[in-house]
Amino acid sequence: MNIEFHYYITKYLALEAGFEREEAEIIAYSSQFVDDNFAIVKTITPAGKIYENAVTQTFDITKPEKNYIRRYILFHYVPGDPTSAKVQRKDGKMHLLMTTADGNYAQEIFYHTTRNNNLYILGMVSHMLADTFSHQNFIGTWDDMNSMSIVWEKSKPNIGHAEAGLKPDIPNLIWIDPRLIADNTEVNNKERVLFAARKLYSNYIMTTSSENNWASVKKNIAGILSQTITEAELHLVAEQQAERIEKYKKLLREFGAEEDYHPEKWFNDAILEEVKKEQWNLKDLSTKEFHFRDNYQKSNWYNFQEAAKQYLKNAEIILRPLLSSLEMKEW
């Protein structure tokens, strides 16, 4: 999934599920910030100590890095059921780390890590769960099963959907996955988005005890995603997404909620310096020194980082029985 789901749809779902505006903002911002929190930032506390933040993604998702395997698997490619009919391939291969939609590990991570009602973690697991739908049939480690080549002898190992590019994350795209059997080869991302939205909404109303209004919620999201495209129409992606985001903003306005996402906002609220939006890149962030405000421990950015560290520990414990059976050098 991309920002369209991780921020806008997630926020809409949270609001419809009964979360307050401020709560929905933390959930949705945390969900999207998982993808934008890609740099180790040198930040000095008022006591003069260097704070170590958690990294949750790579700067360029089409160019993954081996030393981030742990983050990929725990945040973006949680293993599911390798025997699922949805992941049956032409070559008959299976993999214990294969991502499948809403798998048992993803469900356990979601429910276990949200027991303490931490909204930052709720946003992170919302991201994790949504990605199991869009990233199904991919593996969060270096493996030739991720290759999109149909000539198996020429398949090259890669991480996740790097070779497939952004196709799995475009909400209205219908595309072909040549690795899968005939019944699975056509992938309808709109259907995946709606399945993911339904699951997330169901989880949210379990937390808020709100009335189930899924039929109306689905109608609104499906209406915005009504115009699907094929791989031959990828040139329309940016324009169409911009139009859809304006429609999501209209839904958010009905709740009086914040409409825009700025990846630098939380960090700026926590530090004395100011980072411009155009500076929110790996070079500008990782090569400079920043200083926390006195009340930094109350900031959203700091609390997100602390929550991410806790999430990584908890998620790894849940996956330990599976991971212990494998030899992963890059872990």
pTM over 0.85: yes
Classify the C-alpha dihedral 34-40-43-45 as positive or negative: positive
Whether residue 328 lies inside any domain: the answer is no
pLDDT of 67 reads 65
Give me the count of residues in the chain. 331
User: What pLDDT is attached to residue 328?
Assistant: 67
Please give the pLDDT value at position 208: 97
H/E run at residue 35: helix 21-36
Work out how many domains the chain is built from and give that number: 1
What pLDDT, in 10s, does the model give residues 91-132? 999 999 999 999 999 999 999 999 989 999 999 999 999 999
Those residues whose C-beta lies under 8 Å from the C-beta of residue 88, and which sit 6 or more positions away, are 180, 181, 183, 184
In order of 200, 247, 270, the CA distances from 4 in angstroms are: 15, 11, 26
174 is in which domain, residue-wise?
3-323
Q: What is the DSSP string of 197-238?
A: HHHHHHHHHHHH-----HHHHHHHHHHHT---EEGGGGGGHH
Domain membership of residue 116 (yes or no) is: yes
Strand spans (E) along 82-213: 142-143, 158-159, 173-176, 186-188
* Alpha carbon distances (Å) from 306 to 33, 159, 266: 14, 27, 14
Average the pLDDT over each of 11-25, 199-213, 246-260, 280-294 and give the range with the smallest value: 280-294
For residues 329 and 253, which has the higher predicted lDDT (pLDDT)? 253
AA letter at 286: S
Q: Is 48 left (phi over 0), alpha (psi -120 to 50) or beta?
A: left
Task: Using the predicted structure, report yes or no on whether residue 207 has a pLDDT greater than 80.
Answer: yes
Give the C-alpha separation, 289 to 99, whole Å. 37
Give domain status of residue 330, yes or no: no
The answer to whether residue 331 is domain-embedded is no
Q: Is residue 238 part of a domain?
A: yes
Q: What band does 68 get if pLDDT is binned at 50, 70 and 90?
A: confident
Contact 221, 12 (CB under 8 A): yes
pLDDT exceeds cutoff 50 at 153: no
Instruction: Give the gyration radius of the chain's Cα atoms.
Output: 19
pLDDT at 60 exceeding the cut of 80 = no
| Maximum Cα interatomic distance, the chain, rounded to a whole number of Å | 61
Label residue 303 exposed, middle or buried (CB < 10 Å: 0-12, 13-18, 19+). Answer: buried
59 domain-assigned: yes
In a domain, 329, yes or no: no
Beta bridge partners of 139: 98
DSSP secondary structure string for all residues of 60-104 = STTS--GGGHHHIIIII--B--TT-GGG-BTT----TTBB-TT-H
Task: Evaluate whether residue 94 is within a structural domain.
Answer: yes
